[in-house]
Structure 1
């Protein structure tokens, strides 16, 4: 017997929905017959037929406004918002390499994009008395890597704190807010990143993979997570099957973080 997540017909917006975790979420929700709008800076290489894509830069207020307006017009309303958009392009070299512009980029993409998206969709969710908002944070909020991702880690920590506060405000009004905190996930960007490490270190892909796991202090599972594994968790949490869950954060990291 299938475990029905009861997502058929749900109107869903997924940010960062064309690559990595976001693309896996979009693909899964589409198979579960949800109505999905995916937003990202560019169109996907292989679009899914029944998914509507909106090209927008969510690191800017104008991009958020355009994405939400297009999604609301296409769907007629929004039941679920999944904020996946995030990442870091900061240079290596520690805190001294991160000027104000780098900090602003990290905060706009990893924190403010979600804050602005939430602010745009929440009034309608509250008016209809129902809705789900999910934020994808990162284990770097508690296990930051100092070389290049200090600003990213700080932004994700802020996103987690903001999300918890938001849940306490809007859950009594019918809107659940939950968080998923992935560890290292082997996305397309991660594969490219490992290729660069391998070239610089004079090793192969598997050698680079082991180097990253060692830098994280080890992954007891023995491998990074896969995007579809994170998508499975997200789909459950935004579904009616999880309707008593709000304000919580779920770590999916293969045991990387050494404390609960």
Structure 2
């Protein structure tokens, strides 16, 4: 019996694929038959050299080195998953955000995708096929004013950019879509809860409750796990989703309360 989902023979780049949902996506893509190259600033000890390129994607030079590695090691790319993102901004609302804090959030959450697409998408267009998936966040719709204003704004910019790119290159055979997770139970979410807890003078459970309350609750009663997010990304990257482009796909347990 044929498997419902296959990425056999596909060449994929997954940024930030060493932790959390990124690592889960890399693992699932490989299980489904894809050849995957992933990136981070440093290589985990258990990851083979040929599957990884060390680069700082917050810089133009880092993006160039990854694009070169994609061409040299994979011979091109069929799927790009822009998983890189996060926030290190302090709590304290808009007044706590300096110009440097704003630049850091944009350099992490917007510009890596813009630069890598500019470097790699023309080859996809020339081939007349490919899939680009931008991982955004429900924070673009539901920012936490105390802690994620700059992150949310950067993800909103990423979503708008993604929609524009889809309108430009989907007629040329390249699908572009977005995945917007809510709270994912990862190392990064623990870091955020810890940071918020410290600012509030409470423990990590208190930090988690603050996040949950700020989201207005999650109807299913829990965050998503990394494998669930990876499964949605794999479906969108596959030929099963051949007519899906330009759209945003929430995976948030129902946290966004609007239609």
Partner of 2:127: 128
Q: CA distance change for structure 1 residues 211 and 45 in 2, over 3 Å: closer, same or farther?
A: farther
The change in CA–CA distance for 1:154 and 1:202 in structure 2 (over 3 A counts) is: closer
Alignment of 1:25-104 (within 5 A): 25-47=25-47, 49=48, 52-104=51-103
Structure 1 pair 149–45 and aligned structure 2 pair: CA distance change class (3 A): farther
1:158 & 1:140 partners in 2: Cα distance?
12
Maintained 8 Å contact 1:38/1:51: no
Preserved contact between residue 37 and residue 70 of structure 2 (Cα < 8 Å): yes
Which residue in the other structure is 1:146 paired with?
Answer: 145
Aligned counterpart, 2:231: 232
The answer to whether the Cα contact below 8 Å between 2:184 and 2:223 also exists between their aligned partners in 1 is yes
Q: CA deviation at 1:192?
A: 3.6
Matching residue of 2:16: 16
Deviation at 1:92, TM superposition (A): 1.2
1:165 to 1:77, Cα distance in 2 relative to 1, 3 A? same
Asked if 2 retains the 8 angstrom alpha-carbon contact of 1:35 and 1:51, the reply is no
When residues 193 and 152 of structure 1 are mapped into structure 2, their CA distance, relative to the original with a 3 A threshold, is closer
Query: Distance between the aligned counterparts of 2:92 and 2:11, measured in 1?
Result: 43
Unaligned runs of 5+ in 1: none
Cα distance per residue 1:1-22 (max 9 Å; x no partner): 5643220110000011111111
Q: Return the alpha-carbon distance in structure 2 between the equivalents of residues 129 and 196 of structure 1.
A: 45
Answer whether contact 2:86 2:188 (CA < 8 A) is retained: no
Relative to the length of structure 2, the TM-score reads 0.94
Does the Cα contact within 8 Å between 1:24 and 1:228 map onto a contact in 2?
A: yes
1:193-244, Cα deviation, whole Å (9 max, x unpaired): 43455576444x5454333211211111101110110000000001011011
Give the aligned CA root-mean-square deviation in angstroms.
1.7
| Matched positions, count | 258
Gaps of 5+ in 2: none
Match of 1:209 in 2: 208
Q: Is the 8 A contact 2:89 2:147 kept in 1?
A: yes
Structure 1 residue ranges, 4+ long, deviating more than 4 angstroms after superposition = 195-203
Larger CA deviation: 64-73 vs 186-195: 186-195
